[in-house]
């Protein structure tokens, strides 16, 4: 399908009833076609729209959003650029005549030493051709400025700036500029490194989305290229899938998505600017970039952007590679409003197979507040490298509290009203709670007073019954049992952490004497073997704490106690007896 989409197709695009391929094709076309942007605005707002090259007018509701309203007013008041044909829905059919006629070696003609082989595509600023450099015997790409733009000073200046910006960069992930030619009757042109693959936008049109590792690898490579540009003081300002080329390695196939089979390269530095530049060549009021991929600060204060705006745009690219769709879509004013105010929907809500850590990296890169993003493209590349290597990432997902805080900053009036309502509800709840508490306390006090007499009379009776029970329990036990019970109580006090050390030693000595007395008093008691085990264990503790002198008698006593206990060992301590015997022998 050539030319602009029909009104019916635009309606289907708005209601998302097109196939993914058609939807993406229309979305790409609308991004560069003012006529279609106006048509979409008319269908979404119903407001009068001023036709111009880069934006359409805002609907009346935008007046309620000061930042967006100011931005759109500034754009409407900007001087219009000269009219030019809208970009084709697919490849442009515009032809260009080269200085030398076609020949068998140059099917489309010849430009200096470059034999033009075929047309690769075109954009709003120029046309791209595949050519053979007869002097150096290599395949190159030739980018020619459109005829209708060659006579415009601002267009030539931008084209020249792209040449200078790109020519100063030498990196594996940036398309190399070999030459730039100005002057003569032929429009200015660039001689570029030829990329055997396709653009990332083409790959998305074919596949919809990419496998997470392939997406992460591509974005990591682009981040490395951006890092080189940023270190040289250049901000690209127009990172998007169509400006990322996929150079196929020799062993890879045309449609390979394996992370190691492709090399991503950045192209089109036509909007690049020095990070410390005070002014740009873009006319006041126009947008420098593609709105769906532009950072909030690039919309509101484009003269002060730094490398973090490219980090944001690359984060949007990563989002699209994972989810299959960019986070913000629609007519121009809809996209601008979302970029400024709406948080992107987490990619895992589109596809729950996306790894959580990769989603965290993506959402950190597209944070509205530039201070919450990766500070540099190198940091983004490093975190993607950690994820690809299976190592912990540095980014952290935001919690509900931080997410609410960010929403509050973007929606201050609504947040203030919500806070006032919540505060009122809390105050009412607190007053009601205090009143209910006072009623409950008064009722409880009256019940306590009524039952106090009953408890007082019952306490004396219960105390008497407990005393009688203790007498009965004591009368049921033999004297030896009472001695052992007293010894166990002493050992419990000795083990209490609150008992001072000297008092604990006294309690242990008393327990030893009472256990000895119980065994002497009733050596054939049914629990005498257990008593002997307890006494032997306490003697072992004493032996360990004493010097070698004077502990032979205790050692022999403990061994004899263990031997006697093993003659009729209780089942619950038999193994402990054997272990204790070994320990005593080792002393």
Contact 340, 300 (CB under 8 A): yes
SS3 of residue 59 by DSSP: coil
* E-assigned strand segments in 2-113: 109-111
> Is 238 one of the catalytic residues?
yes
Contacts of 405 (CB under 8 A, 6+ apart): none
36 vs 390: CA distance, rounded Å: 45
First to last CA, the chain: 98
CA atoms within 13 A on the CB side of 447: 6
Contact 540, 583 (CB under 8 A): yes
The vertex-287 CA angle with 310 and 64, nearest 5°, equals 105
Burial category of 487 from C-beta neighbours within 10 Å (exposed 0-12, middle 13-18, buried 19 and up): buried
Structure tokens at 27: 């979305």
Strands 234-235 and 244-248: unpaired
Residues near 197 by beta carbon (within 8 Å), at least 6 away in sequence: 245, 246, 247, 248, 254, 262
Q: Single out the catalytic residue among 28, 112, 133, 238.
A: 238
The per-residue DSSP string of 190-256 comes to: EEEEPPSSEEHHHHHHHHSS--HHHHHHHHHHHHHHHHHHHHTTEE-----GGGEEEEEPTT--TT-
- Cα 188 to Cα 206: distance, rounded to the nearest angstrom: 33
Residue 10: CB atoms within 10 A of its CB come to 20
Q: Give CA separation, 407 vs 323, 368, 369, 374, 413, in Å.
A: 23, 10, 11, 20, 11
Q: Angle, nearest 10°, between helix axes 66-77 and 332-341?
A: 140
User: What contacts 286, CB < 8 A, 6 or more positions away?
Assistant: 53, 54, 55, 75, 78, 81
Task: Give the DSSP H/E element, type plus range, for residue 266.
Answer: strand 262-266
Would you please indicate which residues are annotated as catalytic (active-site) residues?
A: 238
């Amino acid at each position: 399908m050539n030319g602009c989409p029909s009104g019916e197709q635009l309606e289907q695009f708005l209601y998302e009833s097109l196939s993914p391929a058609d939807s993406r094709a229309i979305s790409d076309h609308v991004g560069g076609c003012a006529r279609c942007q106006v048509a979409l605005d008319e269908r979404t707002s119903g407001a009068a729209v001023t036709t111009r090259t880069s934006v359409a007018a805002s609907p009346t509701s935008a007046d309620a959003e000061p930042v967006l309203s100011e931005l759109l007013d500034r754009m409407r008041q900007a001087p219009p650029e000269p009219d030019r044909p809208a970009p084709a829905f697919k490849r442009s059919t515009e032809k260009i005549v080269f200085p030398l006629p076609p020949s068998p070696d140059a099917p489309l003609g010849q430009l200096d030493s470059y034999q033009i082989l075929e047309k690769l595509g075109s954009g709003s600023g120029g046309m791209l051709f595949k050519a053979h450099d007869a002097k150096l015997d290599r395949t190159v790409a030739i980018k020619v400025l459109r005829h209708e733009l060659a006579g415009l000073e601002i267009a030539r200046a931008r084209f020249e700036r792209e040449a200078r910006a790109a020519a100063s960069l030498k990196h594996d992930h940036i398309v190399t500029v070999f030459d730039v030619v100005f002057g003569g009757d032929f429009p200015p042109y660039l001689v570029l490194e030829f990329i055997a693959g396709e653009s990332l936008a083409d790959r998305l049109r074919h596949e919809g989305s990419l496998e997470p590792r392939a997406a992460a690898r591509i974005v990591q490579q682009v981040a490395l290229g951006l890092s080189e540009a940023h270190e040289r003081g250049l901000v690209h300002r127009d990172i998007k899938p169509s400006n990322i080329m996929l150079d196929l390695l020799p062993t890879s196939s045309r449609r390979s998505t394996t992370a190691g089979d492709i090399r991503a390269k950045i192209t089109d530095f036509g909007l690049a600017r020095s990070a410390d530049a005070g002014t740009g060549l873009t006319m006041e009021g126009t947008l420098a970039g593609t709105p769906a991929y532009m950072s909030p600060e690039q919309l509101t204060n484009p003269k002060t952007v730094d490398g973090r705006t490219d980090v944001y745009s690359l984060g949007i690219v990563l989002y699209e590679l994972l989810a299959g769709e960019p986070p913000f879509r629609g007519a121009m004013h809809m996209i601008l409003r979302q970029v400024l105010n709406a948080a992107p929907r987490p990619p895992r809500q589109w596809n729950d197979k996306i790894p959580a850590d990769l989603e965290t990296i993506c959402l950190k890169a597209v944070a509205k507040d530039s201070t919450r993003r990766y500070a540099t493209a190198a940091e983004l590349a490093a975190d993607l490298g950690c994820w690809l290597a299976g190592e912990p990432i540095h980014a952290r997902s935001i919690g509900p509290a931080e997410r609410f805080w960010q929403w509050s900053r973007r929606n201050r009036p609504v947040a203030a009203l919500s806070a006032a309502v919540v505060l009122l509800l809390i105050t009412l709840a607190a007053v009601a709670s205090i009143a209910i508490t006072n009623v409950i306390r008064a009722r409880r006090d009256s019940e306590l007073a009524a039952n106090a007499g009953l408890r007082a009379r019952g306490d004396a009776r219960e105390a008497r019954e407990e005393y009688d029970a203790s007498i009965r329990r004591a009368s049921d036990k033999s004297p030896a049992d009472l001695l052992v019970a007293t010894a166990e109580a002493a050992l419990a006090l000795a083990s209490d952490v609150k008992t001072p050390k000297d008092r604990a030693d006294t309690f242990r000595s008393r327990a030893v004497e009472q256990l000895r007395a119980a065994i002497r008093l009733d050596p054939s008691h049914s629990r005498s073997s257990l008593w002997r085990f307890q006494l032997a264990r306490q003697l072992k503790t004493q032996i360990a704490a004493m010097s070698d002198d004077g502990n032979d008698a205790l050692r022999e006593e403990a061994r004899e106690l263990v031997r006697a206990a093993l003659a009729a060992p209780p089942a619950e301590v038999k193994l402990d007896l054997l272990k204790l015997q070994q320990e005593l022998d080792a002393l």
